[in-house]
A and B are shown apart, each in its own frame.
Chain A
Amino acid sequence: MTLKIIKLNVNGNEYEVAVKPYERLIDVIRDKMGLTGTKRGCDYGGCGACTVLVDGKAVCSCMVIAPWAEGKHITTIEGLVKDGKLHPLQEAFIERGAIQCGYCTPGMILTAKALLDENPSPTEEQVRKYISGNLCRCTGYVKIVEAILAAAEKLSSKTA
């Protein structure tokens, strides 16, 4: 077994880590970088709990072989906090009660961030389609969708 030294850029920080050839990004993020906000769910791309952003796009970190991500910019839920302040999406999830057990929340918020970065004013239908790869077994999605739409409004009024 050859361990490979790779450099990964996560939340703007460069990490140098030794990985096995089959090691998945989720394991490196959680176990080697200690960024446990990224959650492990189904392990094959079916639930979205492990969603991170790679070059701004939502991907399942359980499906990414860690060395594949070398040279790309990875954002985890920890990377959304700026100067100790939560991201408007995180605030909206709290304010709207869009969280119950919280396990799907990091992935849900990152998918929502990718959506709002591409489309700052989505319709409810667009939100529902975009987050359909993120399963939530508690909320029934109503408050999650409301929170994303509220954050969209807040973000666009900020930039306007």
Chain B
Amino acid sequence: MSVVKFRPKEYIRAKAVEEVISLLGKHGQKMRILAGGTEIHELAGRGMIPETEVLVDIQDLGLSGIKDESDGLKIGALTTIRSVRDFDLFKSGAYTALHDACDFTPMQIINLATIGGNLSSGLPLFCLPPAVMALDGAVKAVGPEGERVIPSDEFYVDYFLTALQPNEFVTEIQIPKAEASTGSAFKALKLLSVDYPAASVAVRVTIDKKGNCKNVRIALGSMGRIPFRAKKAEKALEGKQAKDDVVRKVCDELFKEVSPSSDIRSSAEYKREVAKVLLRTVLTKAIERAQGGTS
């Protein structure tokens, strides 16, 4: 991995958000923000960031920690994946998709990697983006014009490309409060426990008083150039009871809706088939959780 040169000339430990914005304005593409730092060497090793001259470490900006506020959950961008995984509220019920998406190994990675870094990388193989999408999460970014909140569903533009402007960076992830009787789940298919998934699916569903499904969200990772919501499949379940024939129809819709490409992990045909199976599994789990059956 040491073939391609990665030789930044400067390391700066930023003291304030404004300082980072001004450094981004000054250095542009020649600067990389260092969050957990777990991806930078892989990108460097593949020769993807040879232009990097300045590394800006943002660990001292007070951007880590999770707040449970009346208008939703606020997760600081520098909160490690491990801390999100271990946050009690995410371990059962409505937000479990987030816990499940963070519950991967190696420990050595989740102890360093951050939720903000993971979401803003734009790599479609990551587990957190579909989970955040399924929970209707949003990304708070800051730039020279101030703060703005971008729905996670609109955050991904193309492979490694997000809606962030070159002089913006992510400071917070926002997850709205879930309605009562809501459940969520996430599952990834991995060929090795420490590899990226070949496919991943996150689901959220609320069961109303009549037993019908509403607020349905289905989001996928590793299935295309960006993580995305499967809106036709969502629609096939919205307002209906989750009986076997309906679930089958939802899975068939998903099969029609996705067109992954083959990669080193699996073929496109296999991914489509597996996404259906994963969806059935997570849907069943999310519904059980919405009904309070299991954690």
Contacts and interface: CB of A to CB of B under 8 A. Distances in A.
Interface of A: 1-2, 4, 20-22, 24, 42-46, 48, 51, 54, 57-60, 62-65, 67-68, 70, 111, 114, 129-130, 132-134
A43 B37 contact: no
A46 B38 CA distance: 11
B6 A68 contact: no
B41 A45 contact: yes
Contacts of A64: 37, 112
11 contacts: A22-B11, A44-B1, A44-B42, A46-B194, A57-B111, A59-B108, A59-B112, A62-B41, A65-B11, A67-B57, A133-B194
A44 to B, nearest CB: 5
A77 to B, nearest CB: 15
Contacts of A1: 7, 9
Contacts of A48: 106, 108
Contacts, number: 93
A132 B193 CA distance: 7
B107 interface: yes
Interface string B1-21: 110001111110100000000
B284 interface: no
A69 to B, nearest CB: 10
A63 B37 CA distance: 6
Contacts of B55: 21-22, 65
A45 B108 contact: yes
Contacts of A63: 37-38, 41, 108-109, 112
B57 A68 contact: yes
A43 to B, nearest CB: 5
A43 B45 contact: yes
B64 to A, nearest CB: 13
B57 A22 contact: no
A27 B279 CA distance: 44
Nearest to B112: A59
Of residues A51, A65, A129, which shows the largest number of chain B Cβ atoms within 10 Å of its Cβ? A65
A48 B112 CA distance: 13
Contacts of A42: 1
A2 B37 contact: no
A58 B1 CA distance: 22
Interface in B10-53: 10-11, 13, 34, 37-38, 40-42, 45
Contacts of B38: 45, 60, 63
Contacts of B92: none
A54 B38 CA distance: 14
B105 A133 contact: yes
B59 A68 contact: yes
Nearest to A61: B108
A63 B40 CA distance: 8
A43 B1 contact: yes
Given A22-B8, A133-B194, A65 B108 contact: no
B9 A133 contact: no
B13 A67 contact: yes
B194 to A, nearest CB: 6
A2 B111 contact: no
B107 A58 contact: yes
B45 A59 contact: no
Contacts of B106: 45-46, 48, 60, 132-134
Nearest to A52: B108
B1 A2 contact: no
A15 to B, nearest CB: 17
A42 B168 CA distance: 33
B2 A43 contact: yes
A74 B7 CA distance: 25
Contacts of A65: 11, 34, 37, 40, 55, 57
Contacts of B8: 21-22
Contact of B107 (A2, A54, A130): A130
Nearest to B45: A44
Nearest to A63: B38
Given A45-B41, A130-B105, 17 more contacts: A1-B7, A21-B9, A21-B55, A22-B11, A24-B41, A42-B1, A45-B42, A59-B108, A59-B111, A60-B112, A62-B41, A65-B57, A68-B34, A68-B37, A129-B105, A129-B193, A133-B109
